[in-house]
C-alpha cells in the first residue's frame, strides 16, 4: 500500500479494489463480507428488526480511551441495544481526506474490527469515498446497524409503558467522553488525563433484559447529554421527572474540568452511558445486574418518574434548590462524536 491515501483509492478502480482487499476485508472479514457483493444478504432470524444510522465526525480522531473507529462501532451498537434489539450487522462507510496516513486509517479499521468482535457484531458491507485535501477533515465514518428485535420488546424504544413511580437509572459517571475530547482539543494535558467512556453496552444491556421485563425505556446519553434525553422524553411522553443531582455520578477530575470550562455535566456527551427507566419493583435487581458488569460498576438510581409537572424534568440541586432541566439552546461542543 502507499504511505498516504490517494484520490485513486476512491475511484472504484484498481486502487479501490486494493484498499478493500488489503485493509477492509483483511480486518473486518467474515462469511458475509468476504463475498464482496454490493449488497449483503442477511438473515436476522426475527420478524422485527431495529435499524439505526450515525455519522461520526469527531475531532480529534484519536483520543484517550478510543478513536473515531471505536466510537463508530459502539455508537451504533448502543443505538440498537437501547431499542431492546440484539445488534447483529453493521455497515461501515468512510469519507477520507486525500493524504490521510495509511497507518492512521489502518489503526482505526483495526480498532473497529476489535470493537465489533467485542460487541459480537459483523461488519457486512461498506463504502469508501476519497475527497480532495481540505474538503473533509481526515476521516468521517458512517455506521448503520441492523439488530434482531424480540416482539415483546418493541415498545422499549417508544417508552409508552413508562408510568409514575418508575426509577431512572444510569450505568455510571457522566461527561467523561465530552470532557475527554474537550481537554484534548483545548490542549489541557496538564490536567489528570480524562478517558472517554466509549464502549459497546449491548452485552450489559442484554444481561439486564435477561433479569427484568420491567425495563420500559433505554437511551444512550450522547450529544446533549443526560439532560437532553430527559427533556425529549418528558416532552414527547408528557411525563415528569425528579432527578437528585447528588446521586448523579461524576468523576472528580471530570467535575473539575467541567467547572473550569463552565460546562454542566448533565449536558455533556457520553459514549458509554445508558439511561434506563425501570419499574419500581425491579429497580434494585437491575442496579445489581448493572454493577456486576464492567461498564456498570458505578450505576446509580438517580431519580424517578412523577405524575406532576408533566413535560418537564426537575432536578434537586446539591445545595437543596430545585430547577427545571431545559433543552440545550445552541451548540455546546461541536464534533464530539
φ and ψ at 136, to 5 degrees? -150, -175
Residue 198's nearest CA partner among 257, 269, 96, 123 is 269
Closer to a copy of itself by Cβ: residue 126 or 249: 126
Q: Bridge-partner residues for 140, per DSSP?
A: 95
Least distance (Å) from a copy of itself to the CB of residue 189?
A: 22
Least distance (Å) from a copy of itself to the CB of residue 30?
A: 13
φ and ψ at 82, to 5 degrees? -70, -15
CA distance 279 to 217: 10
Cell of 26: 483483511
Which residues, at least 6 apart from 335, have a Cβ–Cβ distance to it below 8 Å? 57, 58, 59
Closer to a copy of itself by Cβ: residue 79 or 197: 79
Least distance (Å) from a copy of itself to the CB of residue 332?
A: 6
Least distance (Å) from a copy of itself to the CB of residue 172?
A: 20
Are the CB atoms for 287 and 150 separated by under 8 Å?
Answer: no
Are the CB atoms for 167 and 280 separated by under 8 Å?
Answer: yes
Least distance (Å) from a copy of itself to the CB of residue 60?
A: 12
Give, rounded to a whole angstrom, the gap between the first and last alpha carbons of the chain.
Answer: 29
Closer to a copy of itself by Cβ: residue 146 or 287: 146
Least distance (Å) from a copy of itself to the CB of residue 8?
A: 4
Closer to a copy of itself by Cβ: residue 261 or 291: 261
Task: Dump the DSSP string for 46-108.
Answer: SSEEEEEEEEE--SSSEETTEEHHHHHHHHHHHHHHTTT-EEEEEEEEEEEETT-BHHHHHHH
CA distance 131 to 133: 7
Least distance (Å) from a copy of itself to the CB of residue 142?
A: 4
Distances (CA, A) of 57 to 10, 19, 69, 138, 266: 19, 21, 10, 9, 22
Least distance (Å) from a copy of itself to the CB of residue 123?
A: 10
Name the helix (H) or strand (E) containing 149. Answer: strand 139-149
Closer to a copy of itself by Cβ: residue 37 or 246: 37
Are the CB atoms for 6 and 15 separated by under 8 Å?
Answer: yes
Closer to a copy of itself by Cβ: residue 32 or 299: 32
Closer to a copy of itself by Cβ: residue 51 or 318: 51
Closer to a copy of itself by Cβ: residue 77 or 290: 77
Least distance (Å) from a copy of itself to the CB of residue 112?
A: 14
Task: Check residue 4 and report its DSSP letter.
Answer: B
Closer to a copy of itself by Cβ: residue 182 or 287: 182
Amino acid at each position: 500500500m502507499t504511505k498516504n491515501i490517494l484520490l485513486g483509492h476512491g475511484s472504484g478502480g484498481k486502487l479501490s479494489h486494493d484498499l478493500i482487499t488489503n485493509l477492509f476485508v483483511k480486518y473486518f472479514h467474515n462469511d458475509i463480507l468476504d463475498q464482496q457483493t454490493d449488497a449483503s444478504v442477511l438473515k436476522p432470524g426475527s420478524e422485527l428488526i431495529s435499524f439505526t444510522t450515525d455519522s461520526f465526525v469527531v475531532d480529534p480522531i484519536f483520543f484517550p480511551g478510543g478513536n473515531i473507529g471505536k466510537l463508530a462501532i459502539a455508537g451504533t451498537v448502543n443505538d440498537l441495544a437501547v431499542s431492546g434489539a440484539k445488534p447483529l450487522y453493521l455497515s461501515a462507510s468512510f469519507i477520507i481526506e486525500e493524504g490521510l496516513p495509511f497507518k492512521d486509517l489502518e489503526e482505526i479499521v483495526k480498532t473497529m474490527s476489535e470493537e465489533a468482535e467485542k460487541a459480537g457484531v459483523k461488519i457486512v458491507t461498506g463504502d469508501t469515498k476519497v475527497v480532495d485535501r481540505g474538503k473533509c477533515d481526515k476521516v468521517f465514518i458512517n455506521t448503520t446497524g441492523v439488530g434482531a428485535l424480540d416482539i415483546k420488546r418493541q415498545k422499549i424504544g417508544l417508552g409508552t409503558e413508562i408510568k409514575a413511580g418508575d426509577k431512572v437509572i444510569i450505568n455510571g459517571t457522566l461527561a467523561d467522553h465530552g470532557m475527554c475530547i474537550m481537554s484534548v482539543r483545548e490542549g489541557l494535558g496538564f490536567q489528570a488525563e480524562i478517558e472517554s467512556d466509549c464502549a459497546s453496552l449491548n452485552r450489559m444491556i442484554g444481561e439486564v433484559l435477561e433479569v427484568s421485563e420491567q425495563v420500559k425505556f433505554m437511551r444512550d446519553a450522547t450529544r446533549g447529554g443526560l439532560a437532553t434525553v430527559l427533556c425529549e422524553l418528558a416532552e414527547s411522553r408528557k411525563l415528569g421527572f425528579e432527578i437528585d443531582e447528588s446521586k448523579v455520578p461524576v468523576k472528580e477530575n471530570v467535575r473539575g474540568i467541567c467547572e473550569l470550562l463552565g460546562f454542566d455535566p448533565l449536558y455533556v456527551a457520553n459514549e458509554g452511558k445508558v439511561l434506563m427507566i425501570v419499574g419500581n419493583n425491579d429497580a434494585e435487581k437491575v442496579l445489581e445486574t448493572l454493577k456486576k458488569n464492567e461498564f456498570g460498576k458505578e450505576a446509580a438510581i438517580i431519580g424517578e418518574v412523577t405524575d406532576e409537572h408533566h413535560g418537564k424534568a426537575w432536578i434537586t440541586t446539591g445545595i437543596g434548590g430545585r430547577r427545571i432541566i431545559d433543552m440545550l439552546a445552541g451548540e455546546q461542543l461541536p464534533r464530539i462524536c
